[in-house]
A = this chain, B = another copy of it.
């Protein structure tokens, strides 16, 4: 059973993943990609994954058969375990809890070589709908306080399987980065009585030097204090705290269109870079957090974290976000 441990100084939680238990000799070895036909995420290999939790099956074929266009399955090597009760305890001066959670894989396409950037807006929309359905389902489990949706594309960005996929991890605590944003936004809200994300959107539209693209419901911008070159945030223009409650507006059509656009631009300008994206939403189950504004953060992995960044929590970004915006806007796709 994995374990959650809290750093007593700065209250940062860490998942100590004992079952994955890497011995020193295995570090530095890349997992070889599966042989042809042996990809566990490919159609025909449904028996290589745990039974599916959700799927898009245009022909209404039965679960775990091959004719799907999208599939969500439990991760066979989960960072956290779904079984058992949450058990919090003190060990001397330290705090731990057992590693209860859920870890799911969203197989975005049946086509092994296809990338998210190469998918149609409609198919990307189905990916967002899967995130929503799974988030809503996981929220019903009262042991969980947060569902993190994220994607690792490319080995440098942490992907261990080639087949295009993203992931959900349900956590028994609200992660630190999200709490920081909620607290920062709350301080602003108390001072100004306005949402800080809404104010950022208004400011960016007015200056118009960091807006990469917008449509009716969403806007994509290079954040003023971008940590990474070509970092992009996509935000709903209308104030919305919860990612999973967006369906009433446009069923994620507009964010799919914008995400596809950004990924195609990355492919062209940055030569199909490895990237990560993650969705930040208000957490559920802890009362309403109406001042928060959900959004998606996308970071191409172009630079390396080094001692200065680890030591300070400070980032050095070699490309001003205004320049990144210009490069992205000027390039035709």
Contacts and interface: CB of A to CB of B under 8 A. Distances in A.
Interface of A: 3, 5-18, 20-24, 27-28, 79, 92-94, 148, 150-152, 156-159, 167, 169, 171, 175-178, 180-181, 184-185, 188, 196-197, 199-200, 203, 206-207, 223-227, 229-230, 269-271, 273, 276-280, 297, 299, 302-308, 310-321, 323, 327
Contacts of A327: 23-24
Given A225-B6, A314-B14, A150 B27 contact: no
Given A9-B180, A93-B199, A171-B314, 13 more contacts: A8-B188, A10-B177, A12-B314, A13-B314, A15-B314, A22-B229, A94-B224, A157-B306, A158-B305, A158-B307, A176-B312, A177-B314, A297-B310
A199 B22 CA distance: 30
Nearest to A15: B316
A276 B310 CA distance: 8
Nearest to A277: B307
Contact of A9 (B9, B150, B184): B184
Given A8-B200, A317-B16, A318-B22, A312 B171 contact: yes
Contacts of A9: 180-181, 184-185, 188, 196-197
Task: Please report whether the interface of chain A is mostly helix, strand, loop or mixed according to DSSP.
Answer: mixed
Contact of A7 (B79, B150, B223): B223
A57 to B, nearest CB: 27
Nearest to A276: B307
A226 B94 CA distance: 13
Copies of this chain present in the complex amount to 2
B320 A13 contact: no
Contacts of A20: 318
Given A7-B225, A307-B276, A315 B181 contact: no
Contact of A311 (B16, B93, B177, B305): B177
B319 A21 contact: yes
Nearest to A178: B312
Which of A23, A175, A203, A311 has most B Cβ within 10 Å? A311
B203 A92 contact: yes
Given A150-B308, A152-B306, A313 B225 contact: no
A314 B196 contact: no
A323 B273 contact: no
Contacts of A197: 9
Given A9-B184, A307-B157, A203 B93 contact: yes
A200 B21 contact: no
A313 B167 contact: no
A22 B317 CA distance: 9
8 contacts: A13-B225, A15-B314, A15-B316, A16-B317, A21-B320, A152-B307, A167-B308, A176-B313
Nearest to A223: B7
A269 B308 contact: no
Contacts of A313: 12, 175-177, 180
